[in-house]
C-alpha cells in the first residue's frame, strides 16, 4: 500500500478541451479524486506544469532564461487556482514554492512539507526547480526524491508508455511495465531525459496513466491501474 505519492499534472490537463487556461469541471473532478485518496490515508503532494499558459520555448523573441521565468510563474498560477478548487471541495491545502513568492506561497522546506502531508493536507509544490533550462518533469522527480515519496503518478494525455509514438505508428506497443534503465537506454517518452536519469539514479518508481478516464487517479493507486509501471 502506498503511503506518500507525488501526483504530476500537466498544465494542459487543467484546461480540458480548451487546451489553454482552466477547465473548472476538470479541476473539480481531480479534487474529488484526490480527496478520496487522502481519505484512504495516503499522503498527496502535487506538481503542476505550466503549458496551459506558457512554455519557455514559446517565446522565441524573448531571451531563454526570461521565457523560462514566465513558465515557472505559470506553474505558480496553476497551483494557486487548483489549490482553491481543492479547498472548495473540503481539502486542506498548502503551497510551497521553489523561490520567494511573497505571501502567495511559502518557500519549499522539506520538514514543513512533510508536517503538512502528515496532517492530511494536499501539498502543492510550485515554481518548478526555480531554475531555467529545467522542466516540471525534473522538478517532479527532484521533489519526489526530496520528500521521500513512494511513487510518482504521472497523469498524462496518453494512457501509458509505448515503444514508439502511437500517433505516428499504428503498430506501437504499450508496456504494462518497463524498467527505468530501459526508459533511459531507449529514450522512451515518459519524462524528459534529465528527469529520467534522476529517477534512475535515485530509484524513484513512476506510474504513467491517462488522466481523462473515469477515476483515473484513484485507479492509479489501486490494483485497477491499467497504465504503465516504470520500475526501478
**Nearest C-alpha neighbor of 53 from the set 79, 88, 33:** 79
* Smallest distance from ligand UDP to CB 215, Å: 24
**Closer of 132 and 205 to ligand UDP (Cβ):** 132
Query: Which listed range, 24-32, 114-122, 125-133, 171-179, lies at the site for ligand UDP (CB under 6 A)?
Result: 125-133
Place of cell 496532517: 119
Cα distances from 194 to residues 80, 110, 183, 227, in angstroms, run 27, 22, 12, 22
203, exposed or middle or buried, with CB in 10 Å at 0-12, 13-18, 19+? exposed
Region near ligand UDP per CB under 6 A, out of 14-22, 28-36, 129-137, 222-230: 129-137
CA distance 18 to 168: 23
**From candidates 132, 189, 197, 205, binder to ligand UDP by CB under 6 A:** 132
The DSSP letter of residue 18 is G
How far is residue 166 CA from its own chain's centroid? Answer: 22
Contact call for residue 129 and ligand UDP (CB under 6 A): yes
Decide: is 134 part of the binding site for ligand UDP (CB under 6 A): yes
Instruction: Give 116 or 137: the residue with its C-beta nearer to ligand UDP.
Output: 137
Q: Does 149 bind ligand UDP (CB under 6 A)?
A: no
Q: How far is the CB of 157 from ligand UDP (least distance, A)?
A: 11
What residues between 27 and 86 interact with ligand UDP by CB under 6 A?
49-51, 55-56, 67-68, 71-72, 74-75
**CA neighbor of 190 nearest in space, from 222, 221, 156:** 156
CA-CA distances (angstroms) from residue 172 to 63, 167, 175?
38, 9, 10
Q: Minimal distance in Å, beta carbon 75 to ligand UDP?
A: 6
**Size of residue set near ligand UDP by CB under 6 A:** 21
The cell numbers describing 29, all together, are 473532478
Q: Which residue among 2, 6, 9, 11 contacts ligand UDP (CB under 6 A)?
A: 11
- Contacts with ligand UDP, residue ranges (CB under 6 A): 11, 49-51, 55-56, 67-68, 71-72, 74-75, 128-129, 131-132, 134-137, 139
Amino acid at each position: 500500500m502506498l503511503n506518500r505519492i507525488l501526483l504530476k499534472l500537466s498544465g494542459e490537463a487543467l484546461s480540458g478541451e480548451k487546451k489553454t487556461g482552466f477547465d473548472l469541471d476538470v479541476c473539480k473532478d481531480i479534487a474529488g479524486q484526490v480527496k478520496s485518496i487522502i481519505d484512504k490515508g495516503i499522503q498527496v503532494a502535487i506538481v503542476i506544469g505550466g503549458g496551459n499558459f506558457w512554455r519557455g520555448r514559446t517565446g522565441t523573441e524573448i531571451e531563454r532564461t526570461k521565457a523560462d521565468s514566465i513558465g515557472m510563474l505559470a506553474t505558480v498560477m496553476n497551483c494557486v487556482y487548483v489549490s482553491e478548487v481543492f479547498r472548495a471541495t473540503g481539502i486542506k491545502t498548502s503551497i510551497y514554492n521553489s523561490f520567494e513568492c511573497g505571501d502567495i506561497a511559502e518557500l519549499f522546506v522539506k520538514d514543513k512539507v512533510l508536517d503538512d502531508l502528515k496532517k492530511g493536507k494536499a501539498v502543492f509544490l510550485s515554481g518548478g526547480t526555480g531554475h531555467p533550462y529545467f522542466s516540471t518533469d525534473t522538478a517532479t522527480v527532484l521533489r519526489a526524491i526530496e520528500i521521500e515519496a513512494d511513487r510518482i503518478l504521472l497523469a498524462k494525455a496518453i494512457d501509458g508508455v509505448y515503444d514508439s509514438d502511437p500517433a505516428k505508428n499504428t503498430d506501437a506497443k504499450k508496456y504494462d511495465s518497463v524498467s527505468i534503465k530501459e526508459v533511459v537506454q531507449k529514450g522512451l517518452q515518459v519524462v524528459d531525459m534529465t528527469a529520467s536519469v534522476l529517477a534512475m539514479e535515485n530509484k524513484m518508481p513512476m506510474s504513467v496513466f491517462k488522466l481523462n478516464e473515469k477515476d483515473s487517479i484513484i485507479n492509479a493507486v489501486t490494483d485497477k491501474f491499467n497504465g504503465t509501471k516504470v520500475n526501478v
